[in-house]
Chain A
Amino acid sequence: MPKRKLDPLPSAAFQILLSLADEDLHGYEIMRQVETQTSGRMRLGPGTLYSSIHALSEEGMIEEVDRSGGLAANDERRRYYRLTIAGRKVARSEAERLADLLRVARAKRILRGDYV
């Protein structure tokens, strides 16, 4: 069985899944959303962004959305992406994995304070 490209899920791919949790976005909006939700620590370049989008699309975690109707002229050729059910499941499991890690870190007294 071939190894899956997104196993483990890279950080950039996880951030893209999180950014698409609320609404459909195009590439530049995804980049801005990721920058916002990471407090500016992660700025996805075009190469990273579209490589990750390609991998997520191949794995069926996101899908391209046809939004040609009712859009502004400069948005006609933009590609919008939507989180699929499978992508949402993967994002949830990744978040749970990180939550488990966080619990362990708190149990080990590595983390102090009210992080969660």
Chain B
Amino acid sequence: MSEKIYAYLLLLFPRAFRRYYQEEALRLLRDRLRDESGIYRRLRLSWDLLVDVIRTLPQAHRNSYAEATHAASLAPNVDGVPSFQILEREPIRRETIVSAFVLSLSALGALMCAMEWPVPYQPVQRNGRISPVEAVLERYHEATEDLASSDGSGASAIASIDTSQPESTRSAGDKFAHSAQPTAAPSFPASAGQQAVQGRPGVIWVPGTGSSDMPSYVFAPAEPSSPASVSEASPDKLGETRVTAPSASPSQAPTPAAVAAYLSGEWALRIPAGDAAVPRRFMFRQNGAELRGTGGRSSTEQYPLIHGSVADDSVKFELRTSKGRFLYHLRLEGKVLQGTLSITSMKKVGVSKVRLERVR
């Protein structure tokens, strides 16, 4: 056993012992190393030291080496400076240290479990509905975020919509040209009067009070399934409706799949096999490629979506509840989301096909 190793072993002894005798003990070891050469004697020396440490360590801690420290701590205060007083003469018992260690680990483990435990998310109100004010504010923020993300150069895109044709007979390009303004705050011709223009699905721009030079518009929530209402105000005057979209140049126009993957709203889960509705509700809020929101058994028991993402028509998100983890891999097909649900819980692990349908 080398002197360095023995110096480390001496760290196990009380500090007062080391302060008085560490140097002496190391010198004694150096003397023995000098005098006891050869493999057998060195092995015997190492064994002696090891046994000596194991045998004397408990006794060293039971000894009142701390009494020297205690006596020092009982020295009178100097100039009124307070000093710590050792009230307990006996050193801390090993059982106490072990108990404190176990209790600390248990408390830390319990805290970590509590932090991992999912907490039901209460959307806004007890009935599970978002208040109109909250809905307007939320959509307002989404719209302003989209506007802020556009280039703001003022470049206009003119979307020509032949209002003489019913919507069903319009070309896909017309539909796309119209629906390609999901983020734009449209400008309205003064002759449009009191018309409502849908700038993006779910949001209607309604003219408010303001001058003709600087008209003001306010948001109003709309049904996502309602058709574009641009042409419905005054078809004869609106043969060509000019809609301003600062970022909607043809090269920057989003793909049809990306437009179609606007998922914000309430969805319900169905299992295609039995086509039975299971009590699962989802409140999606899509912000570009990011999908947020909640999901759960009902409108009142909701859990936040984790790692929600939208890439073209592919949708992924995860829910963690007290029952387990639910990983959704979905694809937008028409107006429904279809795909698989991977369940990982304590009771079972499996995959099943699911379908989500928009409720509103």
Contacts and interface: CB of A to CB of B under 8 A. Distances in A.
Contacts of B31: 28
30 contacts: A27-B24, A27-B27, A28-B31, A31-B28, A43-B48, A45-B49, A45-B52, A45-B53, A46-B25, A46-B29, A46-B52, A47-B25, A47-B57, A48-B52, A48-B55, A48-B56, A50-B17, A50-B20, A50-B21, A51-B59, A51-B60, A51-B63, A53-B21, A54-B17, A54-B20, A54-B63, A77-B23, A77-B27, A78-B24, A78-B27
Interface in B92-122: none
Interface residues of A, number: 19
Contacts, number: 60
Nearest to B65: A54
A47 B29 CA distance: 11
A47 B24 contact: no
Contact of A45 (B17, B27, B48, B63): B48
A50 B56 CA distance: 10
Given A28-B32, A43-B48, A50 B25 contact: yes
A112 to B, nearest CB: 33
A78 B21 CA distance: 11
Nearest to A29: B31
Contacts of A28: 27-28, 31-32
Contacts of A77: 23, 27
Q: Is the interface of B mostly helix, strand, loop or mixed?
A: helix
B72 to A, nearest CB: 16
Contacts of A53: 21
Interface string A1-41: 00001000000000000000000000110010000000000
A31 to B, nearest CB: 7
Interface string A51-67: 10111000000000000
A2 B5 CA distance: 37
B53 A47 contact: yes
A23 B184 CA distance: 104
